[in-house]
Amino acid sequence: MRKFKFLEHTADIKFQAYGKDIEEAFENSALAMFNSMYNSKIKDKEKFKIIVQGKDFESLLYNFLEELLFLLDSKNFFLSKIKNIKINKRRLKLEAEILGDDAKNYPISLNVKAITYNQMFVKKQENKWITQIVLDV
């Protein structure tokens, strides 16, 4: 199964991410966001643990991606992979271990300003989960 695909958008970056479960779809959403900024291998030199909550799946995804952008802006952390991602669907809480490197070690081609709720969705379709996100660049 494909992890994500970029879609046509007039001014911003739009993509859909896929997963066999919601955790994999969220993980692939984060990878797509960072892939839009730099699309080669990132080293695993730093590690953070993050916890976010939401009021529904869309706000949980928004808060997750926003936390990753915050780490990029505040700690220069550029994501390479996500390990041990767990989503409590009842409490709408996500916990994950994230690995990456200092962003200054990579020629980042695009600046993502924000995640938007515009056209965002998180849904289960047949036997897979799909997310859609528009990034303000």
CA distance 94 to 76: 22
Which pLDDT belongs to residue 24? 98
The whole-number mean pLDDT for each consecutive block of 10 residues of the chain, a chain of 137 residues, reads 92 97 98 96 97 98 98 97 97 98 95 96 97 97
Domain boundaries of the chain, sorted by first residue = 4-136
**DSSP secondary structure string, 43-66?**
---EEEEEEEE-SSHHHHHHHHHH
CA distance 128 to 137: 28
CATH number of 4-136: 3.55.10.10
Which pLDDT belongs to residue 2? 86
45: number of Cβ within 10 Å: 13
* pTM recorded for the entire structure: 0.96
